[in-house]
C-alpha cells in the first residue's frame, strides 16, 4: 500500500548507509530524518503561518457563527469571504500533517 513511499526511502537509507565510512544504520536513520525534515521545512512554516492567521481571525469567525447560526449557507458564504479577505486557505495547514 505504501510501497511508493517505502521503496524510495529505503533505497535512500541504504545509500546513506553505504556512503558512511563506518556503516552505522543508526546514524543513517538520523541523517535521513534530518534530510526529510529539512525538505519539509517550507511546508511546516506555511502550516504555522496558516494556523496563526486562523487564530487572528477567530473572534470574527465566532461573531459570524453567532450571527448566522441558523443559516449555514450564509455562514459559509461569509466565512469564505473572510478567508479571502485575509488570504487564508482553510485547508492550507493540513498538508504537512498528511506527510
Reported as half-sphere exposure (CB side, CA atoms, 13 A), residue 79 has a value of 20
Using the predicted structure, report yes or no on whether residue 45 has a pLDDT greater than 80: yes
Q: Which pLDDT score is estimated for 48?
A: 87
The model's pTM:
0.68
**2-14 pLDDT, tens digit each:** 899 999 999 999 9
Q: Which position has the higher pLDDT, 96 or 47?
A: 47
Mean pLDDT, the chain, rounded, equals: 89
Q: Which pLDDT score is estimated for 21?
A: 85
Return the closest-CA partner of residue 76 out of 95, 90, 59, 87: 90
Amino acid at each position: 500500500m505504501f510501497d511508493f513511499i517505502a521503496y524510495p526511502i529505503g533505497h535512500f537509507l541504504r545509500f546513506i548507509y553505504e556512503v558512511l565510512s563506518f556503516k552505522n544504520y543508526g546514524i543513517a536513520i538520523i541523517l535521513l530524518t534530518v534530510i526529510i525534515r529539512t525538505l519539509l521545512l517550507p511546508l511546516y512554516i506555511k502550516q504555522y503561518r496558516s494556523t496563526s492567521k486562523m487564530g487572528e481571525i477567530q473572534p470574527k469567525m465566532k461573531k459570524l457563527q453567532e450571527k448566522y447560526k441558523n443559516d449555514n449557507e450564509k455562514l459559509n458564504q461569509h466565512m469564505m469571504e473572510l478567508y479571502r479577505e485575509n488570504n487564508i486557505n482553510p485547508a492550507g495547514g493540513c498538508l504537512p500533517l498528511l506527510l
